[in-house]
Amino acid sequence: MSQPAFDFGDEVDDAENPTYTVAELGDAINDTLRRGFRDGVWVRGEISGWSDRGNHAYFTLADDSADAKAVVNVQFFAPARMRLRPMLQKHRLRLADGMKVRIFGFLDFYTPGGRLGLKMTGIDPRYTLGDIAQSRDAVMRRLVAEGLLDLNGRRQLSPLPLRVGVVTSLGTAAWHDFRDELDSSGFGFQVYVADVRVQGAVAAPMVAAAITALARAPALDAIVVIRGGGARNELAVFDAEEIARAIAGAPTPVLTGLGHEVDRSIADETAHTAAKTPTACARILIDRVSATCAGAETTWAAIERRAGAALDERARDLSDRAHRIARRTHAAVERADERLAVRADRLVRAGPAALQRANEQLEVARSQLSERHRRRMAAAVATTDVLAARVAAIDPAVQLARGWSITRRSDGTTVRSITDVALGERVVTTVSDGTFDSDVQSTLGSHPTPLPKDSHDD
């Protein structure tokens, strides 16, 4: 394989085909750029990689609309920054990553680094503001079409919103203003804070996630989203659709205090109540609690007045009734005294006669009782005599005197039948004048022989 041979002659360069050094090429490129873009150039894109180096700033302007992502390096030097600062402040814009801009500048090839860049000298704020407004309008149309814009506004805010969830960046002036306002109120607010970023690319998803997380807490009375003032493009974070949807879907009323008094974000439009500042947002909660407490105090005072009036009225009624009862009691006692006096007089007059009648009745009763006693005593004596005669008739001594006898065994038992004794047994016989012993020789079980007639004689 052979290599081509070149005959350069004595001179390497010629007028028609010059050879440049690298530095010369850089100068040639810059001369060409200046001739081609003599009056500068307008470029639009999205800022990324923003970096402050002293008073200068450097970033990349990216074009996301191209199929292959195109970028250009931008140098924003201190003199241009100082000159454009009043215009940016007037429109409340702060250049940062993610911001879509239309900038003016001059192309420059930086020979030491071999990079093409754009030296920024101007900016069209209407482009950025228009992009923000266009994005905002698109989000608003979707929220209105889905009926989400006033959904959270229909939530019922507690009359005592003392348990508050706060979505903010801790350590900021907005957080301190809000907390100091609550602390100085004297009410017992309980605050639960979700610390989030409130600007930059991660701010919108963090704020939306924090609102959703706090909305799951059933103990909260309200959720507050606050941020201090800032550039309009920074506050555009709260125009994000995901934040608006998180607010609309929260079952807890959401209050916002974002930016300055002139700012009004989509989050404000979607919230239950939008305050102009974080301090004003705290003031809304304090005023509601204060109004509820004042209403309670007013109601209590009204109840106290009505209760006092009712008690006074009842006391007067009771006093009137007591007076009426006293008067009626005195009248009743007087009438009773009169009736008692009449009856006492009657008793005085009727007493001796009644006593005389009672004595006569007592004398009659005494006579009747005495006569009745004599008759009963005579009847009792007669009955006693009859019973005595009957007793005497069955007295054993009387029967023995009549000739009867009583025979007993040796153990003292009375012999009533021949079966009560045995042959040879000794028995004792009692007669009217004594006893005698005998032995049983025989027994005769025949019918009893009637006694001699003279044995029945007395």
Segment among 11-25, 134-148, 181-195, 196-210 with least mean pLDDT: 11-25
pLDDT above 50 for 3: no
Q: What is the pLDDT of residues 347-372, one digit of tens each?
A: 888 778 778 888 888 888 888 888 88
Question: Please, what's the b/e burial string for 241-275 (b: 16 or more CB within 10 A of its CB; e: otherwise)?
Answer: bebbbbbbebebbbbbbbbeeebbbbbbbbbbbbb
Residues linked to residue 258 through DSSP beta bridges, in sequence order: 227
Which helix (H) or strand (E) segment holds residue 195: the answer is strand 190-195
Tokens 């007993």 belong to which residue? 408
Cβ count within 10 A of residue 3: 5
Residue with tokens 């009691």: 329
Compute CA distances 165 → 212, 254, 432, whole Å. 11, 9, 133
For 71, the token pair is 């970028």
DSSP SS3 for 325: helix
Residue 9 has pLDDT above 70, yes or no: no
Instruction: Considering only residues 455 and 141, tell me which one the structure prediction assigns the higher pLDDT.
Output: 141
DSSP E strand boundaries for 154-265: 163-168, 190-195, 222-227, 254-258
What is the average pLDDT value for the chain, to the nearest integer? 83
Residue 449 has pLDDT above 70, yes or no: no
Q: What is the per-residue pLDDT for 454?
A: 46
Question: Is pLDDT at 404 greater than 50 in this prediction?
Answer: yes
pLDDT of residue 66: 54
Which tens digit of pLDDT belongs to each residue from 261-277? 566 888 888 999 999 89
Q: Edge to edge, what strands does the sheet with 434-439 contain?
A: 406-409, 426-431, 434-439
Query: What is the C-alpha to C-alpha distance for residues 432 and 397, in angstroms, rounded to an integer?
Result: 7
Residue-level pLDDT at 65: 66
Distance between CA 287 and CA 296 in Å, rounded?
Answer: 14
The pLDDT of residue 456 is 43
What single DSSP character describes residue 379? Answer: H
Q: How far is CA 86 from CA 82, 92, 123, 125, in A?
A: 8, 9, 12, 12
Amino acid letter, residue 212: T
Q: What span, in angstroms and rounded, lies between the C-alpha atoms of 420 and 403?
A: 22
